[in-house]
Structure formats: C-alpha cells, structure tokens
Amino acid sequence: MLAQAKTLVVGLGNPILGDDGVGWRVAEEVARQLADPAVEVDRLALGGLSLMERLIGYDRVIIVDAIQTPGGIVGDVYQLDLRDLPDRSAGHTTAVHDTSLQTALQLGRQMGASLPDDVQIVGIEADRVYEFSEALTPAVATAVPQAVQVVLDLLQLEYGGKG
C-alpha cells in the first residue's frame, strides 16, 4: 500500500481586515467538510519565513488567500501553482525584513528543511483588505463556497476521491 502524502491546507490572512480574512473562512469550512485525518487544516496570519517554517514536513500544501490582480473581478476564484505567481520580495507581509514564500522555501531547502515541492494556491479576488471589519464584501462572501469546492477537488485529485 502506498503511503499518503502529508498534506496541509492553510487559510492565510487577517480575519479582522475585511476581505483579507477570506482564507480563514475557507479553511474553517474545509475543516468542517473534510473527513480525512491525513489532511491538516490551519489558519495563519504569517508570510515569508514564518510561513515557510510552518510548511516543514509536509509533502503538499494548499494555501488559500485573498488576492488582488490588475483588472480582477472581486469574487473570482483562482487555482494556481506557487510557481505561477510572481516572486515579490515582500509579498503578503508588511515587514521589511521578511521575504516572499518562494524565496523562503528556497532558503529553507538550502538549509536542509523538508519542504513541499507541491504548493497550490487558491486565491479569491478581494476588494477591501485594509479596513478593520470582520465582514467580507458580498462578492467575496459569495465566493467562499466555490473556493471551498476548489480545495476539496484538489484534495480529491491527490487521494483518489477520499476528500
């Protein structure tokens, strides 16, 4: 029997900054629907090196986060490989001493950390990510079930229908 990959689903963001909390909402719903103990679900407000440290020991990671793209339509859901995203030096963090997740993973591997090669991103096009609010905008709230389904579908692809 083949061993299952150790998988982590991470909802990123800040639940008190409006649409930036959508990753947490999706992760909470995935955890409620998921019946597979081989998959761990977490919610974090970390980026760069701190996020990289959380990924140590996993074979596969699915990160769910708010995203803002030029010309993007609020509420659209994207599924991307981490390699598809631009490698920005500060990325999602505001700390000038931190780095992008891509750079942090590269550094971690150079230091011998066991890090996943398979990092998938589920992004939800967001509007308000810097306003203090626990509420999502209507379009982002409506996108939560679709994003949950994308995560569950990605998990089913790995586990042959056991999501």
- Could you tell me the pTM of the whole model? 0.85
Percentage with pLDDT > 70 across the chain:
85
Q: What pLDDT, on the 0 to 100 scale, is given for residue 96?
A: 47
Q: What pLDDT, on the 0 to 100 scale, is given for residue 1?
A: 38
In a domain, 116, yes or no: yes
Report the CATH number at residue 33.
3.40.50.1450
Which stretches of 30-76 are assigned E, i.e. beta strand? 39-44, 60-67
Q: Domain count of the chain?
A: 1
List pLDDT tens digits, range 19-32. Answer: 999 999 999 999 99
In a domain, 1, yes or no: no
Range of the domain at 90: 7-159
Reply yes or no on whether the pLDDT at 56 is more than 80: yes
- Please state, in angstroms and rounded to a whole number, the distance separating the CA atoms of residues 99 and 41: 24
In a domain, 77, yes or no: yes
Degrees to nearest 5, angle at CA 43 with 10 and 113:
50
Reduce the DSSP state of residue 82 to 3 states and report it. helix
For residues 124-147, give the mean pLDDT: 94
| pLDDT band with cut points at 50, 70 and 90 for residue 36 | confident
In a domain, 133, yes or no: yes
Reply yes or no on whether the pLDDT at 16 is more than 90: yes
* Burial of 125: CB neighbours in 10 Å, binned 0-12, 13-18, 19+: buried
Give the number of other CB atoms < 10 A from CB of residue 154: 19
Reply yes or no on whether the pLDDT at 107 is more than 90: no
In a domain, 2, yes or no: no
| pLDDT band with cut points at 50, 70 and 90 for residue 47 | confident
Reply yes or no on whether the pLDDT at 103 is more than 90: no
